[in-house]
Amino acid sequence: MEEKTLNVLLKMSAIEYNSLVLKINQRIDELNVLSHLRFMFRGKLASGSDDNIHDALSLFKELD
């Protein structure tokens, strides 16, 4: 397959991306692993952002 064609196939629309993020958010909340993820990403989060993180979606927003 040509590289250009492959790149087009791999790109997601904003709607597809947001839908995927919401599905991941829901599953993370179901598994109750937010504290584990906060620990994993502690070096990637801005100082003081802990107060803004209440669920997986708010964690993703801070990381974005």
Parse the chain into domains and list their residue ranges.
3-63
At 1 the three-state DSSP class reads: coil
Say how far apart CA 32 and CA 3 lie, in whole Å: 40
- Report residue 33's pLDDT band, with 50, 70 and 90 as the boundaries: very high
At 1, the pLDDT band (50, 70, 90 cuts) reads: very low
Sign of CA dihedral 27, 32, 38, 41: negative
Confidence check: pLDDT of 19 > 80: yes
Q: Give the integer Cα–Cα distance in Å for 60 and 2.
A: 33
Helix, strand, coil % (nearest 5) of the chain?
A: 70, 0, 30
Tokens for 18, please give them. 């947001």
Is the pLDDT confidence value at 46 over 70?
yes
Name which residue leads in pLDDT, 52 or 9: 52
Position 32 pLDDT exceeds 50: yes
pTM, 2 dp: 0.66
